[in-house]
Structures are given as C-alpha cells and as structure tokens.
C-alpha cells in the first residue's frame, strides 16, 4: 500500500510540473506525465570543418505545439575527432550528457556566441515548419548555411537527426526550458536605430505590412511573442509583395487582396508611438508593421479552433435544411391527397 501511495504521489508531482507546459490543461498534463503528450522535437546535430580543425555538436529543442525554441546547447572543439565519435542517432539524453562532459575537455572552444547565433538564425530562417514536418534534407541545407556564416567557412559537413520528447522530460533531465510569457527582461524603448538596421540586414527583403486588428478576440500587441502567427495584409505594389500574394492566391472574388499568415520574428518598442513588428511572410521576407501600443492583433487560428467556430453555423444550416425538406415532403403529401 505504501508503494502504491508513493507511486501516486510521484505521478501527482509530475502532473503538477507538466501543467506549466500545457497551459494548465489537466488532461494534457496527465498525458505528458504518462509520456503520451510529446510537445518538443529535438534536432540533434554534428558538424565538421576540416580546414579549420573545428568540429561540434548541438542540441536544439523546439516546442512544435506552441512554436518556440525551448533551449539550444552547443559545443565546439579544436579537434576534428569530436565529429567522428559523436553518434547523433543516440538518445538525446545520452548526447546531452556527452556535451556536458565534453565541455570540461581541454580542446573546447568558447561556443557561447555560436549558440546565440544559432538561436537568432533559427528565427531568421523560420525553420519551425521544417522542424515540425521533420524535413531532414531542407533543414540540413539551412543549417549548413547557418554554420558556414557563423564560422566563416563554406567547407562544412553537417548531419542531423530528429527525436520527439516532452518539456517535462527536459526539466527532469536538468535542461533549462525557456517558456514564452515568463519573466522577461524589460526591453528598452528605442527609436529606429542600429537595432532596426541589424534586423533588416538579416532578411533578403523587407516589405510594408499591416496587421489585421481584432478588438475583441485578438492578442494585445504587448503580449506577442516570437513565433506567434498573425494575420497580415500586404498593401505594397512592389514586385515581392505582388509575387507573394499571387503565389498564395490571396484574392477575394473581387480581386482584392486577402490577409496572409505572418510569423513574428521580433517586435521593437518605439518611443511614444507603439511598436514595429517584423513578421516572416515568406522565406527570407519580412513584413514591417507599425502599430500603436494598445491594439489587439488577430492571430491565425489553428484548424481545430476554426472548426469549433464554424460548428454552430453548420448545425443551424442542417436544421434549416431539415425543416425545408420536411415542408417539401408535407406539401407533396397534401397535393397527392387533393389530386
């Protein structure tokens, strides 16, 4: 009986921890505690640059449910042997343990800036769709480009693998889990200065955009996080905007442009006037959006929410059609009796 109580207490503790990662959804938390709700895809990677005698390992944890980066850990060695002895198809916990041990070695190079570069590049290249769909070749090519830029070499050999797990498993293994909406540093209010220049320099194109406002059901602009999907209008007549709208066929029956989905890269507070939002609307293309301080932005609703919203209307239509069919049958019976 004591063992059974201990087991129940342990399960309760796991569920309590899991609630942090399931938006306080008790059923999801129970599933996560049981190992059934897996919200994280970890990208396990190794790379080699023989001409510089560099090799490295990284683990990038992506929350594919809420689309944010939970953690990125990396190491770089001044010897190429690290590439050969790393088995990226091993369990992620084994690799994380290896990285922790390797960090104490004499051949390690400071990789803090490389880690930050990886995080920024994952957002800049908008890798979330490729991670979610586990597109091995596409993500490998993107990482090859990212590592080449970071370490200033085109001769990069890179290999990755995917593994699905949970935020709870990360915490239990001692891996820090970054969750949007938690305690955050206060972002200083800045004008359009070198920060804006830096953000825009990382994109291939920057085009004008306008957020779709939703005063009732929208999300306050101050609460938007990196990775949030919002509805964006592209009013510009430039070639890039025209091409995006045409490829997405975002036109109404009258030929007017419809909103498309944008993924937030970052937001910059502007003194006394609100924010500048930067949202990816295509690979390498940022929409630049100016908005006030206290507006609510329309989010792109997941298919499940759209279905829930449409359900009452669909049921009403069924009832109306049933009544109409019933009236037709009744009229037919009356006419048949008269004739």
Q: Tell me: the pLDDT tens digits for 98-156? A: 999 998 888 998 888 899 899 989 988 889 999 999 999 999 999 999 999 999 998 99
Q: Which residue has the tokens 């070695």?
A: 105
Grade residue 336 by pLDDT with cuts at 50, 70 and 90: low
pLDDT at 45: 96
Is the per-residue pLDDT at 81 higher than 50?
yes
Out of 22-26, 136-140, 310-314, which region has the weakest mean confidence (pLDDT)?
310-314
- Say which residue, 298 or 5, is predicted with more confidence: 298
pLDDT at 74: 94
Alpha carbons 128 and 7: distance in angstroms, whole number: 37
Phi, psi of 61 (to 5 degrees): -100, 115
Over range 40-53, report the average pLDDT. 95
Residue 322: HSE in the Cβ half-sphere, 13 Å Cα cutoff: 6
Pairing state between β 219-220 and 229-233:
unpaired
pLDDT at 188: 45
The residues with which 282 forms a beta bridge, in sequence order, are 285
DSSP string, 96-164: HHHHHHHTTSTTEE--HHHHHHHHHHHHHTT-HHHHHTT-HHHHHHHHHHHHHHHHT-S--EEEEEEEE
Phi, psi of 273 (to 5 degrees): -140, -10
Two tokens at 206?
Answer: 């920057």
Out of 65-79, 212-226, 237-251, 301-315, which region has the weakest mean confidence (pLDDT)?
301-315
pLDDT at 273: 65
The residues with which 283 forms a beta bridge, in sequence order, are none
Over range 195-222, report the average pLDDT. 87
Two tokens at 317?
Answer: 């239509």
Is the per-residue pLDDT at 267 higher than 60?
yes
Grade residue 339 by pLDDT with cuts at 50, 70 and 90: low
Two tokens at 87?
Answer: 């088995």
pLDDT at 309: 46
Grade residue 314 by pLDDT with cuts at 50, 70 and 90: low
Alpha carbons 46 and 144: distance in angstroms, whole number: 11
pLDDT at 323: 75
At a CB cut-off of 8 Å and minimum separation 6, what does 197 contact? none
Over range 271-283, report the average pLDDT. 83
Is the per-residue pLDDT at 214 higher than 60?
yes
Is the per-residue pLDDT at 187 higher than 80?
no
Phi, psi of 114 (to 5 degrees): -65, -40
Is the per-residue pLDDT at 75 higher than 80?
yes
Q: Which residue has the tokens 């890039």?
A: 240
At a CB cut-off of 8 Å and minimum separation 6, what does 286 contact? 199, 200, 203, 205, 206, 207, 265, 278, 279, 280
Look over the chain and give the mean of its residue pLDDT values, rounded to a whole number: 84
Is 43:160 a contact under the CB 8 Å cutoff?
Answer: yes
Alpha carbons 285 and 242: distance in angstroms, whole number: 13
pLDDT at 1: 43
Grade residue 183 by pLDDT with cuts at 50, 70 and 90: very low
pLDDT at 11: 80
């Amino acid at each position: 009986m004591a063992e059974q109580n201990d087991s129940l207490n342990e399960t309760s503790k796991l569920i309590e921890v899991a609630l942090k990662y399931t938006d306080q959804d008790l059923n999801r938390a129970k599933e996560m505690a049981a190992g059934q709700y897996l919200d994280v895809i970890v990208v396990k990677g190794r790379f080699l640059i023989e001409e510089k005698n560099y090799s490295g390992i990284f683990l990038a944890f992506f929350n594919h449910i809420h689309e944010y980066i939970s953690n990125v850990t990396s190491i770089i060695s001044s010897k190429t042997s690290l590439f050969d002895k790393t088995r990226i198809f091993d369990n992620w916990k084994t690799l994380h343990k290896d990285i922790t041990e390797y960090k104490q070695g004499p051949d390690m190079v400071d990789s803090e800036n490389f880690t930050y570069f990886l995080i920024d590049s994952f957002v800049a290249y908008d890798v979330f769709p490729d991670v979610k769909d586990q597109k091995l070749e596409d993500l490998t090519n993107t990482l090859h480009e990212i590592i080449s830029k970071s370490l200033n070499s085109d001769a990069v050999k890179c290999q990755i693998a995917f593994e699905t797990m949970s935020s709870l498993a990360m915490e239990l293994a001692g891996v820090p889990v970054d969750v949007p909406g938690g305690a955050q540093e206060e972002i200083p209010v800045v004008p359009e200065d070198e920060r804006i220049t830096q953000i825009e320099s990382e994109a291939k194109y920057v085009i004008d955009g306008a957020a779709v406002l939703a005063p009732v059901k929208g999300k306050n602009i101050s609460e938007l996080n990196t990775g949030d999907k919002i509805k964006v209008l592209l009013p510009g007549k430039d070639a890039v905007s025209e091409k995006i709208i045409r490829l997405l066929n975002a036109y109404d029956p009258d030929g007017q442009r419809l909103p498309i989905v944008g993924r937030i890269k970052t937001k910059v507070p502007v003194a006394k006037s609100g924010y500048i939002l930067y949202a990816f609307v295509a690979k390498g293309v940022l929409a630049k959006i100016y908005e006030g301080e206290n507006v609510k932005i329309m989010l792109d609703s997941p298919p499940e929410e759209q279905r829930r919203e449409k359900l009452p209307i669909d049921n009403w239509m069924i009832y109306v059609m049933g009544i109409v069919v019933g009236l037709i049958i009744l009229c037919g019976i009356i006419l048949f009796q008269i004739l």
